[in-house]
A = this chain, B = another copy of it.
Amino acid sequence: MIIQLDMQSELPIYTQLVNQIIEGIASGRLKPGEPLPSVRSLASDIGINLHTVNKAYTLLKQDEFILVHRQKGVVINPDGMPGITKNYRNKMRGELKPIAAEAICRGMSREQLLLEVERIYQEITQTDKEND
């Protein structure tokens, strides 16, 4: 699992970490049951503080993307991912709305916008299917 952080980004490091791990799962590079590095090793690997990694893991744990197994350590939730809850739907819509609004302002058509989304969907699901 390669993690790419942008230390200049406005997004907190732990958020970038969360996003990248979720993208890793979405792309199939990280599979249910698969172990994740310990907070300490990941932190030292990517050169950040262990508390920052810990916060990312805590958030992922809260949403049940990962779980902390007392023996196996941190693993991608083997029982599958959290579903499409009402809460989640609202959160997603709240995030999509300002993006769509700006796209509309800038003259993007419905088709163009959908194409962008489709393109990203493809990009994620087809990432590195053969290599690991």
Residues of A within 8 A of B (CB): 7-9, 12-13, 19, 22-23, 25-27, 48, 62, 65, 67-72, 81-84, 88-89, 92-93, 95-108, 110, 113-114, 116-118, 120-121, 123-125
A26-B101, A26-B102, A98-B23 known; A67 and B120 CB under 8 Å? no
Known: A8-B69, A96-B117. 5 other contacts (CB 8 A): A19-B98, A22-B101, A84-B106, A92-B99, A95-B95
A82-B106, A96-B117 known; A101 and B67 CB under 8 Å? no
A7-B71, A81-B107, A83-B107 known; A120 and B97 CB under 8 Å? yes
Give Cα A28 to B108, complex, Å.
14
Partner of A105, one of B65, B103, B107: B65
